[in-house]
Chain A
């Protein structure tokens, strides 16, 4: 049997992991940090501090704004300067808490020692509470609150916890570095989540990271938690997509509109596992993360992996890393496939920040769009089994019913179609719009059905 991988679609971009040898450095503290209130999927957090308040490192500064939301903690000690809207990296105003840094005083409840805590607490509810209180969210990209993901709805049972160490996006090396430098913490974090879910755990790592595979295998063997193994996956994008990883590891496919838990899977990123370890064993909230500064055709001294405090402005990161190289035409936060272009360098880092990429003009400039030649490459590349050329056409025609029938809502926005299109048609841009419109229709329908059911119920009760 060959190496594991998902069954359909995918592309093979050059992995360009130039920063793989760069050890994680700690980023110094800037004078001011800006902590965003929308760092996670779901409702923005509600600020609990006011200008003039003194805060310590790790102190709660915002509470969840809804069920799917998360706590936000201060990454620095100092004085709150302002609670005001500020532009995020796309230029849209988002509520931020501005803190002027004064010294580095930590909340005394946080255990800052390097000592490994291997004993796993017994109380599942206490573990979940700690994860929630420490504001842990999925660090694989979607920043979905972890405590919600670790609490399967009634009737659903987790059969396998998959730890995502694939890091299939080119250039990024932050997960690679933590798997090499902090494998034991990751394994303990996985064991904690295993305890909550009560299921075996598979750590999936792509074959292009042999050092990480060896380091994680050694850590698993040394710590000896039961039912945990490292599986090597073939290098292929988008292997780190939740549904693709489940397919690769468990050979199960999540049906359209379904959730991973429907097939008994829970997927967590290795960085999330590290955050879970720090939250549960060390009481340390999610205030730091690792970010890669890299790019193509740039000198080695500009490549870094940084342990940064969440809320440090991107401009400060870039400055510390040696400035923007002349060859860079485009800056991207996240991977080159799914990351977002940075239009505003004054924007701040958030929990999910994984990189600052410098890409050259020739590699990023879009080529002029030409006509579809019906080659079908996009359909071959789509890991969700969709037909991007068809969805593009239906979007242009505005046919929402047909878009829904052809499952535009299942698009995971991985960009494989756009990557493979020889006619350079902006397939993903259009399908993303179509997905939004179809999701709107589906949500409106669900809301209408709910309202109708409630009205019928009320009418039935009135009859009684």
Chain B
């Protein structure tokens, strides 16, 4: 009996040693030469393999970063500037800091604002629902409420609010990888600048219907009236296809648009104070009155100047 055990252990040990030697030799012989920096870069990456950067995963990102001539076309939204600085340090590049972004849900058609016109009992998937019809409310553009975005988020940053039936973004967890924006068949979710201390202003509606139709379908809809665009002094707001859009690179967070919006479709978040609509409206009215006065005062001068330039042009012509 003891003999058998000894023999077994001995044979297996020898076998193991032999195979280890073969493996060692094979590993040496067929070693794939790889840039060691790829491993180094991969180590500093977040390791979420979310694909938010546009590459298949963190290693693919590292591989591309090592081969690229610079880091201008690569950005890890999850790791943000911190990780990009580390990557740049390893590879000897310099990268400019990028402002952090966050996913923004541009629909505020809550259950009470957007009455259901029919009932859906099919597969609980926004993609399936969108392929079948425009949704169970009068709005053909808004959130379908089946939570494809929640399922797509790898960071647990999205959840459905049962009270409104709309997805809610947890800003602390959101890494702006863009997976939710891709998963949404209605293209409601947009990546926008997070803003200073998280303060940002956005139009929370994507309804392209004309005003009355949009309003009938949803009390909170943007009706494309253009008041916000007229009020904005920073040229940040455009109205196309009956829908206003705030360019977050131009917005100065003055909140005037939010104050004038008749339907409350424009949302401001993370501001320290509640918006005093009346005060802002008064400010706008005062500014307009002043501008009108100034225009009046300047009015007689303008025709004369114009006449002069016209004369000059005539002479030149």
**Which positions in A face B, CB cutoff 8 Å?**
87, 90-93, 340-341, 343-344, 365-366, 369, 426, 429-430, 432-433, 436
Contacts and interface: CB of A to CB of B under 8 A. Distances in A.
A430 B128 contact: yes
Contacts of A344: 117
Contact of B131 (A91, A93, A432): A432
Interface range on chain B (Cβ under 8 Å from partner): 10 to 19
B252 to A, nearest CB: 35
B35 interface: no
18 contacts: A90-B132, A91-B133, A91-B135, A92-B133, A92-B134, A92-B140, A341-B132, A343-B117, A343-B118, A343-B136, A344-B117, A426-B122, A426-B128, A429-B123, A429-B132, A430-B123, A432-B128, A433-B127
Chain A CB within 10 A, most for which of B135, B138, B140: B140
A91 B121 contact: no
B143 to A, nearest CB: 14
Given A91-B133, A429-B128, A430-B123, 15 more contacts: A90-B133, A90-B134, A91-B135, A92-B134, A340-B132, A343-B117, A343-B133, A343-B136, A344-B117, A426-B128, A429-B123, A429-B132, A430-B125, A433-B131, A436-B131
Interface string B177-211: 00000000000000000000000000000000100
Contacts of A432: 128, 131
Contacts of B138: 91
Nearest to B121: A366
Interface of B is mostly: loop
A421 to B, nearest CB: 12
Nearest to A437: B127
Contacts of A429: 122-123, 125, 128, 131-132
Interface string B111-145: 00000011001110101100111111010100000
Contact of B121 (A340, A343, A365, A436): A365
B85 to A, nearest CB: 34
For the complex of A and B, the 4 pairs showing the least CB-CB separation, nearest first, are A91-B134, A426-B123, A90-B133, A429-B123
B278 to A, nearest CB: 38
Contacts of B132: 90, 340-341, 429
A386 to B, nearest CB: 18
B179 to A, nearest CB: 12
Nearest to A93: B140
Contact of B128 (A87, A365, A369, A433): A433
A98 to B, nearest CB: 15
B116 to A, nearest CB: 11
A369 B132 CA distance: 19
Contact of A87 (B121, B125, B136, B140): B140
Contact of B133 (A93, A341, A369, A436): A341
Contacts of B117: 343-344
Contacts of A366: 121-122
Nearest to B213: A87
Given A343-B133, A343-B134, A432-B131, A91 B140 contact: yes
A257 B125 CA distance: 28
A344 B121 CA distance: 16
A436 B138 CA distance: 26
A91 B209 CA distance: 12
Nearest to B135: A91
Contacts of B125: 429-430, 433
Nearest to A85: B209
A341 B140 CA distance: 16
Interface in B2-51: none
Contacts of B131: 429, 432-433, 436
A366 B122 CA distance: 7
A192 to B, nearest CB: 37
A365 B140 CA distance: 23
Nearest to A87: B140
